[in-house]
């Protein structure tokens, strides 16, 4: 087996794994969308605190779809020795790589802006859905219970929410489990919001996060290098 053939086979196997992984994530995302309660019962206690803050189903569907596209372009492009598909694969991975770098820079430099954007999106959802949407409420209850936080910023995120209007109290997490959690007690307990807590956890585990990010970046760079190698070698065949 020549070097070109070896690289081609590795490219096919690697992207086949990406394709299958993307299909799995897409399937799980659709499952969560259709039957979110069952998913939470099975995986709720094990799922990541960060993923619980966002809509898990949409996140999985988007990531799964992207991986499906990347896996298909890389696998089929290498198998058919298609320069067009290999270049498309290279371009998609390059765009994702640049987007990740840009997101990392924004996250590091503009943490305050990220918090403002999250607040403008998530806080209205809390006031609108917490206590009315069972899936949304369950996700936030699991999040607040696991990382010991209250709302995105603090207890005021739940003011005028369906839960507050019905019970005239805040979630017990905002008072460290003490009931009834009224405004006076919530203000006295001053439980931190989930965004600062998650940010603190990320900073505490910065080495792990950095290692994972570096590993992903290395895989992306390697994938681009291999696809470009195959692309250039096809000119010589």
Predicted confidence at residue 77, as pLDDT, reads 87
Q: Is the torsion defined by CA of 106, 110, 115, 117 positive or negative? A: negative
- Through-space distance between the first and last CA atoms of the chain, rounded to whole angstroms: 16
What's the rounded mean pLDDT across residues 51-64?
Answer: 67
108-117, 132-141, 205-214: range with highest mean pLDDT: 132-141
- Please give the Cα distance from 85 to 92 (Å, whole number): 10
Length of the chain: 237
Candidates 11, 4, 8, 5; CA nearest to 223 is: 11
- Please give the Cα distance from 204 to 199 (Å, whole number): 9
Two structure tokens written together for 96: 């994702």
pLDDT in tens, 139-166: 889 889 888 899 888 899 999 899 999 9
pLDDT in tens, 213-229: 788 888 888 888 888 88
| Domain range annotation of the chain | 3-108+213-236, 112-199
pLDDT in tens, 24-49: 888 877 877 776 556 555 554 444 44
Q: Say yes or no: domain 112-199 is CATH 1.10.1450.10.
A: yes
Predicted confidence at residue 79, as pLDDT, reads 86
Candidates 102, 94, 101, 80; CA nearest to 11 is: 80
Predicted confidence at residue 46, as pLDDT, reads 42
Give the pTM.
Answer: 0.59
pLDDT at 204 over 80: no
Predicted confidence at residue 164, as pLDDT, reads 92
139: phi then psi, degrees, rounded to nearest 5: -60, -45
What Å distances lie between residue 17 and 22, 23, 68, 70, 206, CA to CA? Answer: 8, 10, 10, 11, 28
What's the rounded mean pLDDT across residues 58-67?
Answer: 83
């Amino acid at each position: 087996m020549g070097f070109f053939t070896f690289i081609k086979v590795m490219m096919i196997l690697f992207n086949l794994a990406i394709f299958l992984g993307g299909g799995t994530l897409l399937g799980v995302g659709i499952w969560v969308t259709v039957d979110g309660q069952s998913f939470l019962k099975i995986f709720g206690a094990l799922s990541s605190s960060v993923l619980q803050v966002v809509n898990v189903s949409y996140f999985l569907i988007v990531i799964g779809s992207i991986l499906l596209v990347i896996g298909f372009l890389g696998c089929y492009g290498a198998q058919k020795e298609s320069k067009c598909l290999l270049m498309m694969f290279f371009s998609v991975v390059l765009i994702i790589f640049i987007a990740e770098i840009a997101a990392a820079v924004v996250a590091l430099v503009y943490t305050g802006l990220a918090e403002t954007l999250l607040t403008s999106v998530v806080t209205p959802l809390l006031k609108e859905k917490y206590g009315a949407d069972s899936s949304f409420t369950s996700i936030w209850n699991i999040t607040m219970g696991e990382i010991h936080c209250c709302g995105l910023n603090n207890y005021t995120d739940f003011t005028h929410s369906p839960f507050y209007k019905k019970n005239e109290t805040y979630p017990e997490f905002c008072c460290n489990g003490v009931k009834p959690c009224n405004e006076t007690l919530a203000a006295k307990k001053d439980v931190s919001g989930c965004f600062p807590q998650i940010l603190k956890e990320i900073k505490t585990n910065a080495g792990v996060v950095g290692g994972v990010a570096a590993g992903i970046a290395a895989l992306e760079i390697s994938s681009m290098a291999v696809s470009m190698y195959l692309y250039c070698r096809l000119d010589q065949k």
